[in-house]
């Protein structure tokens, strides 16, 4: 009897779970049980995320469209290296270079410019324009003469006793000197500077904070 009872209970127990499983499966496969509200929430958040990504990309692209041309063709940052322009520009000072002005005008005497070293175009120099195209330059014991007339240079603190023979500049050439004449490698070293090497003129000093300034050429 016990065996019969066990078998009956086993049969009853084995039948009930199958019916339950089928019932659960049928309920799970019934799409009517899904809530349209859940779908709407997912769609709303997906749209919001997509709009956020789109807005971020738009801002980035607009910023690049504005910044890259300015950075490449209008202004460029440079750091001063060395002591060749002391006491007016010191090592590690941060400068902004105006690259656009010389597309319309020629460099003026007294302007401080950045250019590629004609003897090594991977190297950049910062110097002051002294001689202009067509002029004749000569240096006697540190004194600069242009077309036979000595010029005043209040921006130079320590003159060099070095002399330089007479040189007449071509129509596309400039004569540049460092303000610290005793240590500067300039046109006394590489002679006339062709305008094709000029990058731009120093417009703004942004660092250090206590030396922030804009620059204009001195009067001669």
8 Å CB contact between 213 and 201: no
Mean pLDDT of 30-51: 66
Residue-level pLDDT at 30: 52
Q: Where are the domains of the chain?
A: 2-71, 80-214
- Mean pLDDT, rounded, of the chain: 80
Of 40-54, 121-135, 170-184, least confident by mean pLDDT is 40-54
CATH for the 80-214 domain, from 3.30.70.270, 3.40.50.2000, 1.10.3210.10, 2.10.109.10: 2.10.109.10
Q: How far is CA 95 from CA 49, 176, 195, in A?
A: 41, 19, 21
Mean pLDDT of 168-194: 95
Q: Which residues are catalytic?
A: 84, 127
pLDDT, one tens digit per residue, over 8-24 is: 333 344 445 545 544 54
Q: Which residue has the higher pLDDT, 20 or 45?
A: 45
8 Å CB contact between 144 and 137: yes
pLDDT, one tens digit per residue, over 82-93 is: 899 999 999 999
Distance CA 150, CA 92 (A): 33
What does pTM read for this prediction? 0.66
Residue-level pLDDT at 64: 56
Of 25-29, 72-76, 105-109, 113-117, least confident by mean pLDDT is 25-29
Report residue 17: phi and psi, to 5°: -60, -40
């Amino acid at each position: 009897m016990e065996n019969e009872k066990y078998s009956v209970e086993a049969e009853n127990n084995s039948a009930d779970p199958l019916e339950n499983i089928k019932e659960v499966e049928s309920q799970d496969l019934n799409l009517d049980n899904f809530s349209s509200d859940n779908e709407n929430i997912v769609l709303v958040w997906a749209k919001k995320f997509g709009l956020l990504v789109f807005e971020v990309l738009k801002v980035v692209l607009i910023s690049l469209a504005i910044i890259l041309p300015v950075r490449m063709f209008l202004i460029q940052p440079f750091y001063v290296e060395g002591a060749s322009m002391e006491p007016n520009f010191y090592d590690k000072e941060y400068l902004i270079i105006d690259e656009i002005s010389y597309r319309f005008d020629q460099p003026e005497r007294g302007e401080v410019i950045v250019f590629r070293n004609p003897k090594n175009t991977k190297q950049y120099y910062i110097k002051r324009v002294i001689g202009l195209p067509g002029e004749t330059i000569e240096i006697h014991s540190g004194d600069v003469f242009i077309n036979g007339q000595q010029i005043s240079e209040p921006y130079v603190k320590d003159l060099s006793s070095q002399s330089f023979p007479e040189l007449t500049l071509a129509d596309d050439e400039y004569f540049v000197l460092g303000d610290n004449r005793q240590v500067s490698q300039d046109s006394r070293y590489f002679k006339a500077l062709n305008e094709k090497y000029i990058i731009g003129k120093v417009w703004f000093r942004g660092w250090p904070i206590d030396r922030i300034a804009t620059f204009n050429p001195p009067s001669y």
